[in-house]
Amino acid sequence: MMRQVIELMQPRHTLIGEGSIREIPRYLRRLNENMKVLVVTDMGLVKIGTVKKVTDELDRAGVRWSLYDGVEPNPTVAIVNEAMDRYRREGCGCIIAIGGGSPIDVAKAVSILAENGGKIQDYHGVNKSRRPGAPIVAVNTTAGTGSEVTCAYVITDEKENVKMVMMDPNCLAYLAIDDPTLMVGMPPALTAATGMDALTHAVECYVCREATPYTDGLALEAIRLVGTALRRAVKDGGDMGARTDMCWAEYLAGLAFSNAGLGLGHSIAHQLGAQYHTPHGEACAQILPRVMEYNAPACLQRMGDIARALGADIQGLTEEEAARLAADSVRDLCDDIGIRPLHACGFSMDDIGLLARHAMEDTCISSNPVVPTEEEIGRILAKAYCEGLVVEAIRQHTGKETP
């Protein structure tokens, strides 16, 4: 029987560690010493000085650059067109994205358009471009999304009111950078949410249908790093050891899920974000333990592996007990870092049917180890909601404060 051929995708170059942004000019010179670059980011990162840390390195090296800082969350076709116009008008040959998922998504869209032409709507779907895009330097500023690693990007068509998901190896970054010095100023709540996004990537791809030995190793190490570093990073944003470990966790988890897939947790979290504008990592955290319990019968041994990677002692436990401990370990982590419960984000039980129906249509659900029904998704949501009420009551009773 012929074995399946697996294609592994990753950025051409990666730099992880303190001060790695200083190396950007060296990699740009490998492309073209006289090339002008378009810096794509958002106004918030300009205001807090994060962008200047990167552009100062460009100035010191004599690299010419132009700034586009109009990126907003859930970037639209109009934003992509504005950035593309700036790219062409300034005669750029490369894009430096600074930020989380949104700036990197816009950079990927500009990259594809720069070398393939047309409009971004033409590339909605899988492998729609013919040629590699313009080079991208993806400077990640949040330890969670994995956008600097993946070949996926999402652009909202505001006229059709639809989110276009593009999967295209031609937009993979030329250089991905995870510099923990850029993450020191992240507030605790954002650190917690993005860290839980990384953990959800790792947990879901470890148990998903398309997991491989390559993604298994990446995912388990990412889980271990989150288990040892996220609490410390939330407690002390200046803990460079914790920040660096979370950079590694985020990157490894990004590589894992981009080469395997995700699952039901993301399918539900996407709907919570769309309906209530819940931050994505927070939505993942709110639903992940319940999804783990739902999936457990199909992957008991792997759930035990997850519990062990999170630091739990599973010696002497049955597979079922170890699986429950994995979900409880995630709950404990969420509680320790102050993840808000589901009801605190505007969730309404009246929306369960709508959320479940849309979750069934989400692309991530196809990789889940169990094929759910709408009714089962509804029960997962209801249980997560009720559990959140209990957790909140306990917090209030004990006087435990959110970090």
Lookup result for tokens 């794509």: 40
Q: How far is CA 366 from the centre of its chain?
A: 18
3-class SS string, the chain: CCCCCCCCCCCCEEEECCCHHHHHHHHHHHHCCCCCEEEECEHHHHHCCHHHHHHHHHHHCCCCEEEECECCCCCEHHHHHHHHHHHHHCCCCEEEEEECHHHHHHHHHHHHHHHHCCCHHHHCEECCCCCCCCCEEEEECCCCCCCCCCCEEEEEECCCCEEEEEECHHHCCCEEEECHHHCCCCCHHHHHHHHHHHHHHHHHHHHCCCCCHHHHHHHHHHHHHHHHHHHHHHHCCCCHHHHHHHHHHHHHHHHHHHCCCCCHHHHHHHHHHHHHCCCHHHHHHHHHHHHHHHHHHHCHHHHHHHHHHCCCCCCCCCHHHHHHHHHHHHHHHHHHCCCCCHHHHCCCHHHHHHHHHHHHHCHHHHHCCCCCCHHHHHHHHHHHHHHHHHHHHHHHHHCCCCC
Lookup result for tokens 């709408």: 374
- The phi and psi torsions of 230 (rounded to 5 degrees) equal -65, -45
Please give the pLDDT value at position 345: 85
Please give the pLDDT value at position 399: 67
Q: How far is CA 23 from the centre of its chain?
A: 24
**pLDDT profile of the chain (403 residues), mean per 10:** 77 95 96 93 95 97 97 92 97 96 95 97 91 97 90 85 82 97 91 96 96 96 98 96 96 94 93 86 95 97 97 96 97 94 89 93 91 96 88 70 51
**Which pairs with CB-CB distance under 8 Å and at least 24 residues apart come from 396-403?**
400/335, 401/338, 402/189, 402/338, 402/340, 403/188, 403/189, 403/192, 403/234, 403/235, 403/337, 403/338
Residue 154, strand partner residues: 165
Please give the pLDDT value at position 35: 93
Q: Please, what are the domains in the chain?
A: 13-182 (3.40.50.1970), 188-398 (1.20.1090.10)
Identify the CA nearest to 324 among candidates 295, 283, 350.
295
Q: Report the distance separating Cα 211 and Cα 256, nearest Å.
A: 8
Q: Considering the entire predicted model, what is its pTM? A: 0.90
Identify the CA nearest to 67 among candidates 34, 92, 33, 32.
92
- In terms of phi and psi (left: phi > 0; alpha: psi -120 to 50; beta: otherwise), the region of 160 is alpha
Q: Report the distance separating Cα 249 and Cα 227, nearest Å.
A: 10
- In terms of phi and psi (left: phi > 0; alpha: psi -120 to 50; beta: otherwise), the region of 239 is beta
